[in-house]
């Protein structure tokens, strides 16, 4: 099959490219590198079935030839990035979604958009089930991300209903793994970077807010399964293991094999208090659930960051243990 992927040089996008190439597909990869990195797909350069095009999918782009599957993964997914680029974030969720849907309509292709657990906002129901409509501040600092993803879902449903495009909506919960950018501000790279440097872990607020972390290979597996399903309504993909951020800091400390200090910084505005996916629907419809436990996933991620650091000479005396 011929696949078109936006955000292909991003963290999840690049792993999806790997998987599709491994399975024998042809991939046209789009990225404007606002947060994606050429290095994430450098190993695919020159592959006969892989082509990378630098372009902004919110503006015009060619998408020449006929595609069987269109994936819209482009997104500024880290709070640090979307707070710094709110208008680009809104455009990527809105105009870019429509542009990618138009390619799917043109070619009669299947379409999958990666939405987010942020659609639930600061949820009043716990854990979050797909039928919960959410509690989103429409004008807060995070609204550029949350509302554009909600729009992306609405536009995707509209193309499904009005044009009969075969669509899927994945609501992705916190995901981590190799190829996250160390400085992208999210809690996993932030804590691992701090641990590698032997610095205190910066816990925002009192650390009682919760998150659930899914390893990237599990996420890509969920996306692949969803893309083959007939389900048009949103499906949660994430790991149901819920931890407070303080507990998460303790897990990092344990992996480091020593007590890492914690410092507290102010809680960002509209930071959701709780987040845990209910994945019953994905289990039932896709036969999917995460397989990689947190310790193993973190070890792989640490190994990646350590290798990067050794390449750049950044972390001279790594404090964390290598994977088994
Ligand atoms: N967080 C933290 N320290 C950091 C970065 C994040 O305590 O250095 C917290 C953040 O306030 C949030 C959680 O960790 O409650 C997850 O944040 P992240 O930016 O990874 O993603 P989010 O789930 O908020 O989109």
- Judge if the beta carbon of residue 271 lies within 6 A of ligand 1: yes
Ligand 1 center–CA 209 separation, angstroms: 9
187-197 helix and 245-256 helix, angle to the nearest 10 degrees: 40
Task: For residues 309-317, give the mean pLDDT.
Answer: 57
Name the E strands within the chain.
2-6, 26-31, 50-54, 69-72, 110-116, 166-172, 175-176, 201-204, 210-212, 214-215, 235-237, 242-244, 262-265
Q: Could you tell me if residue 21 is inside a domain?
A: yes
Q: Could you tell me if residue 297 is inside a domain?
A: no
Q: Could you tell me if residue 192 is inside a domain?
A: no
Q: Could you tell me if residue 235 is inside a domain?
A: yes
Task: For residues 106-110, give the mean pLDDT.
Answer: 98
- Judge if the beta carbon of residue 274 lies within 6 A of ligand 1: no
Q: Could you tell me if residue 91 is inside a domain?
A: yes
Predicted local distance difference test score (pLDDT) of residue 97 = 98
Predicted local distance difference test score (pLDDT) of residue 316 = 37
User: Which CATH number belongs to the domain containing residue 146 in this structure?
Assistant: 3.40.50.720
87, with CB counted inside 10 A (0-12, 13-18, 19+), is exposed
Structure tokens at 162: 């009005």
Predicted local distance difference test score (pLDDT) of residue 145 = 98
- Judge if the beta carbon of residue 109 lies within 6 A of ligand 1: no
Q: Could you tell me if residue 204 is inside a domain?
A: no
Task: For residues 236-254, give the mean pLDDT.
Answer: 97
- % the chain with pLDDT above 90: 92
User: What pTM did the predictor assign?
Assistant: 0.95
Predicted local distance difference test score (pLDDT) of residue 312 = 66
- Judge if the beta carbon of residue 203 lies within 6 A of ligand 1: yes
Residues 186 and 84: their CA atoms lie apart, in Å, by 14
Torsion from C-alpha of 115, 245, 11, 5, nearest 10 degrees: -10
Q: Could you tell me if residue 301 is inside a domain?
A: no
Range of the domain at 89: 2-176+214-239+276-291
Task: For residues 23-40, give the mean pLDDT.
Answer: 97
Q: Could you tell me if residue 160 is inside a domain?
A: yes
- The reply to whether omega before 127 is within 30° of 0 (cis) is yes
Using CA positions, which residue lies closest to atom 10 of ligand 1?
A: 204
Name the E strands within 55-176.
69-72, 110-116, 166-172, 175-176
Task: For residues 231-260, give the mean pLDDT.
Answer: 95
Ligand 1 center–CA 193 separation, angstroms: 14
- % the chain with pLDDT above 70: 96
Residues near 65 by beta carbon (within 8 Å), at least 6 away in sequence: 2, 28
- Judge if the beta carbon of residue 279 lies within 6 A of ligand 1: no
Mean pLDDT of the chain: 94
Ligand 1 center–CA 93 separation, angstroms: 21
Would you say residue 313 has pLDDT above 70?
Answer: no
Number of structural domains, the chain?
1
pLDDT, tens digit, for every residue of 177-208? 999 999 999 999 999 999 999 999 999 999 99
Would you say residue 106 has pLDDT above 50?
Answer: yes
Task: For residues 265-284, give the mean pLDDT.
Answer: 97
Would you say residue 314 has pLDDT above 90?
Answer: no
Using the atom order of ligand 1, give the atom closest to the CA of residue 79. Answer: 19
Ligand 1 center–CA 275 separation, angstroms: 11
Residues 59 and 91: their CA atoms lie apart, in Å, by 9
Residues 92 and 90: their CA atoms lie apart, in Å, by 5
Catalytic residue annotation: 145
- Judge if the beta carbon of residue 187 lies within 6 A of ligand 1: yes
The pairing of beta strand 210-212 with beta strand 242-244: antiparallel
Probe ligand 1: pick from 78, 204, 260, 301, max atoms within 8 Å of CB? 204
Ligand 1 center–CA 186 separation, angstroms: 5
Predicted local distance difference test score (pLDDT) of residue 305 = 93
Would you say residue 8 has pLDDT above 50?
Answer: yes
Would you say residue 259 has pLDDT above 80?
Answer: yes
Q: Return the residue matching tokens 């981590």.
A: 176
Residues 277 and 174: their CA atoms lie apart, in Å, by 10
Task: For residues 288-295, give the mean pLDDT.
Answer: 98
């Amino acid at each position: 099959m011929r696949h078109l992927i936006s955000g292909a040089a991003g963290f999840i996008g690049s792993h999806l490219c790997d998987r599709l190439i491994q399975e024998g597909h042809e991939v046209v990869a789009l990225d404007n590198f606002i947060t994606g990195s050429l290095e994430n797909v450098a190993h695919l350069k020159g592959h006969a079935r892989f082509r990378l095009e630098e372009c902004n999918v919110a503006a015009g782009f060619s998408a020449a030839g006929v595609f069987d599957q269109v994936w819209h993964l482009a997104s500024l997914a880290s709070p640090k990035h979307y707070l710094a680029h709110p208008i680009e974030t809104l455009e990527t969720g809105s105009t870019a979604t429509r542009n990618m849907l138009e390619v799917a309509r043109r070619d009669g292709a299947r379409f999958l958009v990666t939405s987010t657990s942020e659609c639930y906002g600061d949820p009043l129901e716990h854990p979050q089930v797909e039928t919960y409509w959410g509690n989103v501040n429409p004008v807060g600092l995070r609204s550029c991300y949350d509302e554009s993803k909600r729009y992306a879902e609405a536009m995707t449903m509209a193309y499904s209903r009005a044009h009969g495009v075969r669509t899927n909506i994945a609501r992705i919960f916190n995901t981590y793994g190799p190829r996250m950018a160390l400085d992208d501000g999210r809690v996993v790279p932030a804590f691992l970077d701090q641990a590698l440097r032997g610095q205190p872990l910066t816990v925002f607020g009192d650390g009682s807010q919760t998150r659930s972390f899914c390893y990237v290979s599990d996420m890509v597996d969920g996306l692949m399964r969803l893309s083959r399903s007939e389900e048009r309504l949103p499906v949660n993909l994430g790991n149901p293991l819920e931890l407070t951020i303080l507990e998460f800091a303790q897990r990092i400390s344990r992996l480091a094999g020593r007590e890492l200090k914690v410092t507290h910084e102010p809680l960002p505005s509209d930071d959701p208090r709780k987040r845990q996916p209910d994945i019953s629907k994905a289990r039932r419809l896709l036969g999917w659930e995460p397989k990689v436990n947190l310790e193993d996933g973190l070890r792989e991620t640490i190994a990646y960051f350590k290798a990067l650091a050794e390449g750049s000479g950044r972390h001279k005396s790594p404090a964390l243990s290598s994977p088994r």
